[in-house]
A and B are shown apart, each in its own frame.
Chain A
């Protein structure tokens, strides 16, 4: 249901190259690895100052009302973050007293189905992809989060060559089947 999420893709799509596909996929994999390696400072440095990091809740609805499957922007969301609030979440993890992540979870972020769309802004691309985040913690707690994402990547002169300017996510669960949501996507 990613199509219900606002898109910035240009109406007239410019052609993209295998080289760009390769470059963007490699960036997404490195970014995912930073989260799994708990290199949160490095990950935070990739976030643009104007980032919107958003995951709506989902409703189970009948087929005739599939256009109302996601919570609206003024309704309950699982994440609705800006750079400062993500920073607070990350600083919390450094205290050693964020019990939901102390001891830290083992996570693995898998990214696939990467599609690139051009936008009307130079150097900005809209990326659609699927994710699977596996979390295992303590003795045997295991959670699997699967969904889709629509990111805006912005060209940058940082070491990775890209900044993350927007991340809109759809999780394929309506009732969240975990005792909390203490990992990043």
Chain B
């Protein structure tokens, strides 16, 4: 769908409403997609138009006399905004503006969403699957955990080596940085690791990325983001994650404390040729989806952590999250914000710190906009 402006997009989105009938709470629309002139509840037949206004109540005159249609329309999403084609909604009317929430993360998000003229679009279809783990494992990993990649995901690297090659020679990039935002967001990336994308997604995707997308990205975003950053992972707090260049986007929907439903989309540059978009589609589903040869192993690890944590003693264990604790920097000449070495847990500490702060605060006004500093976490760890 092509939107003429952000204003027009927001006007369309203003009709977004909770998929729940105001009579007995039945799910109004039970299809994933489709066309309809109205939403008619399958329980007692209350009917709503597609803008979410209650328009018909069966037997209204005799049974009710009068139902106030405005008052009993579905709950609207009160806060909506967009950033570079992404749509954000929040049920809390007091939430700070999106602009403020994204804060310093926008500079890093542009690596994926503002590389080329025309922006991005999603490949059709959604990978949806269920993992029996807490949502924070997934969000934390994409926020802060480059460290797992060389071990969790070593098998496809070895498998792609020529027959007879020495697996110990599988080299992983060692230079890069991590960023942590006070609002809990985080990202990490290698610097100057060419060849990374070709190894993961193949030649057609890599050729497009290097020869078409990269020169334009350098012009738009500058040297550090355009030319040097490779292999990024990132999480926008709390539960939206991306892998720029690999171009997977996912929302980790919590389904209670012990389960998530992953919704993963493949993102492509709008102006990329159709063959490149299809190469991206195939390469991403083969690597980062439920059956992807990298992502399969994440599902295994998170599920087993969660199972162990059901034990009374196991859930009291203190885990080590000290990596890079003395290496925070605020003075990187090329990178805004707080940064650390690429293999660090600074962004994880920022993510959990922000989460803890939100869980403890009574209101938005009680929340610092600075998140929790590594210094205070270190103090707690020393005391523990």
Contact = CB atoms under 8 A, between A and B. Distances in A.
A129 B168 CA distance: 44
A180 B290 contact: yes
B32 A100 contact: no
Contacts of B82: none
Contact of B300 (A64, A77, A95, A180): A180
A16 interface: no
Interface residues of B, number: 48
Contact of B130 (A81, A91, A99, A176): A176
Interface residues of A, number: 42
B183 to A, nearest CB: 30
A118 interface: no
Contacts of B167: 95
A91 B163 CA distance: 10
Contact of A60 (B30, B266, B277, B286): B30
Nearest to B33: A59
Interface stretch (B98-106, B118-126, B322-330, B340-348): B118-126
Nearest to B283: A85
B290 A176 contact: yes
Given A61-B34, A80-B286, A176-B129, A74 B124 contact: yes
B281 interface: yes
B125 A138 contact: no
A78 interface: yes
Contacts of A59: 31-33
Interface string B140-159: 00000000000010111011
Given A76-B285, A100-B299, 17 more contacts: A64-B34, A65-B34, A71-B124, A72-B125, A74-B277, A75-B123, A75-B125, A76-B123, A76-B289, A79-B285, A80-B286, A91-B158, A91-B159, A92-B156, A98-B296, A176-B127, A179-B303
6 contacts: A74-B278, A75-B123, A76-B281, A76-B285, A89-B293, A99-B301
